[in-house]
Amino acid sequence: MTELRGLLLLAGELVPGVLSLEAGRIKAVQPGALDPDEEPCIIAPGLIDLHIHGFGLREPLSDLAGMAQALARAGTTAFQPTLFPAAPSRLGEDCEAVWSARGKLPGDAADPVGLHLEGPFVNPDAAGALPRGDLALPSLRALGEILGSATGDARGVRTVTVAPELAGADLLIAELVRLGVRVSLGHSRALAIEARAATRAGASGVTHLYNAMGGATHRRAGLAGLALTEDVLFAEIIGDLVHVEREAFDLALRARGPEGLCLVSDALAGAGTGCERFEACGREHIIQDGAAYYPVGPERAEPQLAGSALAQLEMVQRLVAQGVLSLPEALTMASATPARALGLEGERGSLAAGLRADLIVLEPESLVLREVWLAGKALGTAS
């Protein structure tokens, strides 16, 4: 049996104590005073990213194993590989390829806990950086082409982003819910009443709050307004302070608290590399202040925000350093809340007896990653 001592993230607070690990699981959690002479490290659950397209110059379709290994070394121990829109039949093939690769991952890799499809059933007027030509109107036939046989595992699809205002979205959402696939509302110009109807039909998430959706006003609350007030919706929020400014971040935190917000990276392949330029999905990107952009070119006069270039832990460090979140808030939003959003709180996301021993250990002041543990085995730190 292995014991780790330090400040444990327990129920949203950092509490001194001892964590006992055995057979890949947390065996016991013992809060209590530590040796006064030791400087306690911070021990938290491994982070869970609901929305990530790539990392370490790797993407789910080309190198899921390399991406998962790089993520684990950066403190994210579970994630939803997130695929861009494509023609339904092609997207189904892509899902099949990625999910098949999951069974071949090495032991030092983060765990893909299901695929997230960011479209194609989203509003072209709120496409953002998504390719408009690959979007599709909601239809049960198109959904069948993506998910495959009804007797299969839906090709690993766990979350689908849908714009609820589109024609046919109501039937699509009902079918996804019936199949046990999580619906996240996003890339949308929905009115609040349209978003609420989708919520009543079973939608339970919001894709990157504020981004690619209309802002809330006093006569048009929209999807953003509903996400700030509807407790059954787990709202993703990108934590690079580029996608969402600190005041808007503070508004979301005051409205929903860390239990209603999931800190996601929305990272592209260049994240985790320190590079200034990279190519992803056949397009050139540049990195500025932790965010990824399409550069200036014939089709645009200024760079277009395309995604993030930070890992979840880097976002935690940035948000805490700038006083936007406390450390317990940031860690909760990156671990326990995403686990609850996926219905995985009985398996991961918290420090509790019986759960997987997927952990991160941080230096107490700098929050530098000291160790990562996967299923009770130490991997060391990110390079």
Residue in this structure with the two tokens 């001892």, named with its chain if needed: 18
CB 383 within 8 A of CB 71: no
Nearest to 235 by CA among 217, 218, 213: 213
- Per the residue annotation, which of 49, 94, 240, 266 is the catalytic one? 266
Q: Which residues contact 144 (CB under 8 A, 6 or more apart)?
A: none
CA gap 18, 4 in Å, rounded: 6
In 32-119, beta strands by DSSP E: 42-45, 47-52, 76-83, 111-112, 115-117
Nearest to 263 by CA among 312, 307, 305: 312
- 115 Rama class: left (phi>0) / alpha (psi -120 to 50) / beta: beta
Q: What angle do CA 73, 76, 80 make, to 5 degrees?
A: 130
CA gap 151, 83 in Å, rounded: 23
Nearest to 149 by CA among 103, 101, 201, 96: 96
CA gap 239, 267 in Å, rounded: 11
Q: Catalytic site residue 240?
A: no
CA gap 324, 319 in Å, rounded: 5
Torsion of CA 140, 143, 147, 152, to 10 degrees: -10
Which tokens go with 220? 């048009």
Q: Which residues contact 187 (CB under 8 A, 6 or more apart)?
A: 118, 119, 122, 123, 126, 127, 128, 130, 161, 163, 207, 212, 213
Residues with active-site annotation? 266
